[in-house]
Amino acid sequence: MPTDRIVIVGGGVVGSSIAWHLLDRGFRGQVTVVERDPSYRRASSFLAMGGVRQQFSSAANIRLAQHSVRFYERFDAAMRVPEHRPRAWFRQRGYLFLVDAAGVSRFERRYARQRELGARVERLDVDAIRTLVPDLRLDDIRFGVFGPDDGYANPREVLAGFRHAAAAAGAAYVTGEVTGVGTAGGRVGGVTLGDGRALEARAVVNAAGPFAATLAARAGVDLPVTPVRQHLFRCSLPRRWPHRFPVVVDPGGVHWRHDDPAAPEDPDRIVVAYTNPDEPPGENFRADPDRWADVVRPPLVARLPGFEAAELVEAWAGLYEMTSDHNPLLGEHPELDGFVLANGFSGHGLMMAPATGAAMAELLVTGASTTLDIGAFDPGRFARGETFHDEAMI
């Protein structure tokens, strides 16, 4: 090849993690990250909830999550560079899944599987749940599953931390939109930007998130990744809460976490989310205020009556990058050598970003990811009819 450059398309948390991990492991070539919007106003990682959990039902996802949890525990120190001091502030307050009668058999099976696979989880009876979160109404709850190592980070600080650290390590960030992917003889040769610039490369990494299929089409291949809107809501609590919440997941799907005050005088808040299983696909960033009043607020208040006086401060919408089995595409595209995929996370991109960066860097440098097994996420699985399922999706 004429250059030992790797081009990463998408400078969000996944793309920037790959860039940093490549350079951290000693890659001596050029790492160029192409990001079309350096403000990141519509980037999924910029608009995310920030949750990080090990509570999956497959070994592959648990291993990626465990790696990411360990990385986020030291993130603020590891990503600190002279130009930027991140405050991702990974708060390991845990993930608490509440289980009602309808979910008993499913969560019993999931809990046993998680323990078998090495995830640190605890089965809590109703009294233990009440001790952990005293305010909850629990008359319909049979038990809870709690991951004490899990928690949440500030998504925008995670993104900024990875980007600044990658740039400080030597990654070149280029503003532009990829309008073409050069191919010849069944492999990629680089990309062309909208302003006419051409970047030769021995590998092109598709980390374009919800726009991954559009980029793949420019390389002449199909990608089963679809953008789907996801709503989030920020609420101001009626008083300073006496304890900090874990991420609480209601049986109906509404889930929330604390949004801690940045300064002593700031209000106490929570961030609330609910994934609509019938959300139509498309690049829709419009927040629907009726979603809060009609769908999200009623079950939230029913579960914790003290939220009755909580005031909606902000509603926003971002995009999930969905695959049909709700698991990512990680690895080289089977039809195009050098076209490497890191997308389709279906809501878990920030959660898995550290592990994804490590796996993709090893793949790009050595030809295989052996430290982390990503075989279950092989991009060719859909064509082979081998979809991969993990029932622990929210």
- What pLDDT, in 10s, does the model give residues 85-127? 999 999 999 999 999 999 999 999 999 999 998 899 999 999 9
Query: ∠ at Cα 215 (224, 169), nearest 5°?
Result: 115
Terminal C-alpha separation, the chain: 43
282-301 average pLDDT score: 94
pLDDT of residue 263: 81
pLDDT of residue 3: 66
Hey, is 234 helix, strand or coil?
strand
74-78 average pLDDT score: 97
Instruction: Classify the C-alpha dihedral 80-81-82-88 as positive or negative.
Output: negative
pLDDT of residue 38: 94
> At 266, is the pLDDT very low, low, confident or very high (cuts 50, 70, 90)?
confident
Using H for helix, E for strand and C for coil, what is the string for 150-200?
Answer: CEECCHHHHHHHHHHHHHHHCCEEEECCEEEEEEECCEEEEEEECCCCEEE
> At 296, is the pLDDT very low, low, confident or very high (cuts 50, 70, 90)?
very high
Beta bridge partners of 331: 341
pLDDT of residue 128: 98
Q: Tens of pLDDT along 131-142?
A: 999 999 999 999
Q: Tens of pLDDT along 150-165?
A: 999 999 999 999 999 9
Helices (H), the chain: 13-24, 59-73, 75-78, 104-116, 126-132, 155-169, 212-218, 289-291, 297-303, 349-366
Does residue 392 surpass a pLDDT of 70? no
Q: Tens of pLDDT along 188-214?
A: 999 999 999 999 999 999 999 999 999
What is the percent of the chain where pLDDT is above 90? 93
pLDDT of residue 262: 78
What is the percent of the chain where pLDDT is above 70? 98
Buried b (16+ CB within 10 A) or exposed e, 128-166: ebeebbeebebeebbbbbbbbbbbbbbbbbbbbbbbbbb
Buried b (16+ CB within 10 A) or exposed e, 86-121: bbbbbbbbbbbbbbeeebeeebeebbebbeebebbb
Angle between helices 349-366 and 155-169 (to 10 degrees): 20
Does residue 1 surpass a pLDDT of 60? no
pTM: 0.96
Does residue 286 surpass a pLDDT of 50? yes
pLDDT of residue 216: 98
Averaged pLDDT of the chain: 95
Q: Tokens standing for 237?
A: 């609590």
> At 224, is the pLDDT very low, low, confident or very high (cuts 50, 70, 90)?
very high
Higher-pLDDT residue of 262 and 209 is: 209
pLDDT of residue 394: 65
Does residue 2 surpass a pLDDT of 70? no
Structural domains in the chain, CATH included, are 5-84+155-224+324-377 (3.50.50.60), 95-148+227-322 (3.30.9.10)
- The span from the CA of 338 to the CA of 330, in Å, is 13
